[in-house]
Homo-oligomer: A and B are copies of this chain.
């Protein structure tokens, strides 16, 4: 046995005890940034937080009272890994309206959508396994899968989302099949784009040709402010699509309730992985979400969110038009929580970030969303759901001032 030379009471050499994968884990840039921006005087467009003043608080209180008076023994007890059955039945029914036909048995409740990403990493990703994603892409997915030592093969986005015409060419250049294709079709985080139906069908065609799995991440699908719903990929190719949903944006994120729906074989593997990961998600929170959903409150609440968030998106865009330097541009998302903005070169959104925060406003620099750090230098992600209208205008104004000043110094 190798014995390490340390004094009996000396400092522990933790470094040498860590797993290989631990070296791939990084603290999320967003999370670290959020720490700086938590000061109340900062208007932060950095997070992805819903508007807390809209939480259906009274309805949740009613749900708590109802559950604790009528079903306390089950609401506070251990439950099954798969999740609260009535909630899964509700989800199966409500997804059917979007064309996703799966039974409640094909649904696993997760501790937020982040856990869904983690469990997918756990069952699919070996060290150096390649996965295919758009670029930019969701930061939480990069973080979850990097922890399993995934390699990211990227396809650039345009204003309609992933450029699927490059998919087949990219696949043909790869030595090995990617473990799955990761797609955010609705109101992409961070890009704000929506994948048209033709592109969804093209992803499916290619996935079928090469026998690939599609992971469809859809946290914002219900939050559409204009245009028509587009068929989910899971409705087109139920045999090979793993669909992720969440209550974090439509109800509240603090309850940490998400779900995965997919083919039975894969749900079985995910259930096993979740048993070891946290046994099951909070019984109480699942039953609260179910109660609110079953009483029709969720539907009413989502309608309200659509109205308010749609207005905030417009307010933000109007303020950008008014206050930002010429040459700036941004996506016009049909839903969701985020705008993706580009500012005139040579401004680097990461380089000016400290100055931005000193001016009491914040965003997430675009480069953070590129798995290889090879883009987004003059881009930023802006959240429009969390701040109130007057704050949005003030924050965009502050940002505009920094951007204009920056352009003056650079020229």
Contacts and interface: CB of A to CB of B under 8 A. Distances in A.
Interface of A: 1-4, 6, 8-9, 11-14, 17-22, 25-28, 31, 47-50, 52-53, 55, 57-58, 60-61, 64-65, 68-69, 72-79, 81, 110-112, 114-115, 117-118, 121-126, 129, 140, 143-144, 146-148, 171-177, 179-180, 208-211, 213, 239-240, 248, 252-256, 263, 265-266, 269, 271-273, 275-285
* This chain: copies in complex: 2
A85 to B, nearest CB: 12
Contacts of A49: 77-78
Contacts of A255: 76, 282-284
B12 A240 contact: yes
The 4 closest A-B pairs by CB, nearest first: A254-B283, A52-B73, A76-B252, A64-B64
A308 to B, nearest CB: 15
Contact of A285 (B77, B129, B282): B282
Contacts of A110: 278
A78 B140 CA distance: 14
B76 A65 contact: no
Given A126-B19, A279-B140, A285-B284, A266 B78 contact: no
- Residue of A65, A171, A253 ringed by the most chain B CB atoms within 10 A: A253
A278 B13 contact: no
A269 B179 contact: no
Given A77-B52, A147-B276, A272-B25, A18 B124 contact: yes
Contact of A114 (B52, B68, B146, B277): B277
A26 B252 contact: no
Given A72-B55, A280-B256, A122 B12 contact: no
Contacts of A78: 47-49, 248, 253-254
Given A17-B180, A213-B17, A26 B272 contact: yes
Contact of A275 (B22, B27, B65): B27
A119 B256 CA distance: 18
A142 to B, nearest CB: 9
B254 A75 contact: yes
Contacts of A240: 12
Most chain B CB within 10 A, of A55, A64, A68, A275, is at: A275
A255 B21 CA distance: 30
Nearest to A59: B68
A19 B122 contact: yes
